[in-house]
Amino acid sequence: MFKIYLKSLLIVVLIVSIQSCANDDSSDDYVPIEEETVVYNPDEMPYATLSEYNFFQGDLKNLEPVSGVLPYNLNSPLFTDYAHKKRFVWMPEGSIASYNSDHTPLDFPVGAMLIKNFYYDNIIPSGDTKIIETRLMFMTDDGWDFANYVWNEEQTEASFTTNGSFVGFDWIDDDETQKSVNYRVPSRNECFSCHNKFGTPVPIGPKPQNLNKEYNYSNGTLNQLDKWIEVGYLEDNVPSTIVSTVDWSDESLPLELRVRSYLDINCAHCHSEESYCEYRPMRLAFNENNDDTNKGVCVTPDTQISPLTHIIAKGQIDKSVLHFRISSTEEQYRMPLLGRTLQHVEGVRLIEEWINSLDGECE
């Protein structure tokens, strides 16, 4: 069993297990269906419809995986306008991923497919679940490629598209509050904007630091990395201790770790070297953001917006650029640039708590 090794400033916290995250509903019991197998013809991909891959058996909308399609989730999920997500991974028989480092994606083999479904519960007026899109990343001989599938109104099929679109609807959230969204399905180019490292596409989520957690499988609870090794999807060369992100919504954990984990999954894919926003003086990946300067504390912003004086002004949310941008829903100001049209109220509250906890003043 892997241990989860966490560092916060001068504090070292050892956590044995972490529960699953809110807004990431792939923690249902995993019961693979043995009769069917995935259809993998790389010369014909991407297919015109999602059903052609045969990832799921029965009614497509139930997302019941066939044998070899393994569910997973992350310590902290990326916020996408409150959409729930179900994630799966599949690899061709005989192929296997390998470990590079705690903070970089696993080295996936050719043919590996990452399957992420975005959906909402309690849609008004029907009260039904509505799957909006299924995003695939699949490894080719030339590297990662994208395929996005938009679901029809009947929830019977999803069709391939490279174009972006909007889907507007109302729903009732987990707090029994009615909300509205004009959900953005990204274009192919928008996918590349976020999944971009050194000018090539890369996954964001499947890093050991994010996968190192327990999952409730049909035959018992097991660390996800152990499970991937058990089913033959990951080489058994992963360190016994991994510096891992945490569930940012777990208030029993140190505030600093929660903030660092939130910034990593929501911001670091742009605010890092050789990425979309590398020109800005912020480095928000978990392996870098233990440094206050990299988080922007007392750093003068490169874009002046009055009365904002610093990216993070200690104890002053009204003078902090980061707080302003993650709070805003205006397209010219909001951060992240893509994947969000609504304010993430709980995330903003977390950042406010952290900024207000910082002692001293910025010069």
- Each residue's pLDDT tens digit, 307-332: 999 999 999 999 999 999 999 999 88
**Contacts for 290-298 with beta carbons within 8 Å, 24 or more apart?**
290/7, 290/8, 290/9, 290/260, 295/259, 295/260, 295/263, 296/321, 296/322, 297/358, 297/362, 298/362, 298/363
Give the 3-state secondary structure of residue 92.
coil
Give the 3-state secondary structure of residue 357.
helix
Whole-angstrom Cα distance, residue 243 to residue 9?
Answer: 13
Residue predicted with more confidence, 190 or 65: 65
Helices 255-267 and 345-357 sit at what angle, rounded to 10 degrees?
Answer: 130
Is pLDDT above 60 for 12?
A: no
**Residue 8: predicted pLDDT:** 37
Whole-angstrom Cα distance, residue 144 to residue 142?
Answer: 7
**Residue 10: predicted pLDDT:** 32
- Which whole number is the average pLDDT over 227-237? 97
Provide the 10 A C-beta neighbour count for residue 281.
13
**Residue 334: predicted pLDDT:** 86
- Which whole number is the average pLDDT over 172-197? 84
**Structure token pair of residue 230:** 């058990």
- Map out the domains of the chain as residue ranges: 3-243, 255-357
- Which whole number is the average pLDDT over 33-53? 89
**Residue 31: predicted pLDDT:** 55
Is pLDDT above 70 for 138?
A: yes
**Structure token pair of residue 303:** 């874009």
Burial category of 255 from C-beta neighbours within 10 Å (exposed 0-12, middle 13-18, buried 19 and up): middle
- Each residue's pLDDT tens digit, 255-282: 999 999 999 999 987 766 665 555 567 8
> What is each CA distance from 22 to 27, 149, 162, 247, 251, in whole angstroms?
10, 24, 29, 9, 13
Whole-angstrom Cα distance, residue 1 to residue 54?
Answer: 32
Residue predicted with more confidence, 242 or 331: 242
Structural contact between residues 224 and 215, judged by C-beta atoms closer than 8 angstroms: yes
Structural contact between residues 66 and 98, judged by C-beta atoms closer than 8 angstroms: no
Whole-angstrom Cα distance, residue 74 to residue 70?
Answer: 14
Structural contact between residues 342 and 81, judged by C-beta atoms closer than 8 angstroms: yes
Whole-angstrom Cα distance, residue 226 to residue 344?
Answer: 33
Cα dihedral: 149, 152, 156, 158 (round 10): -10
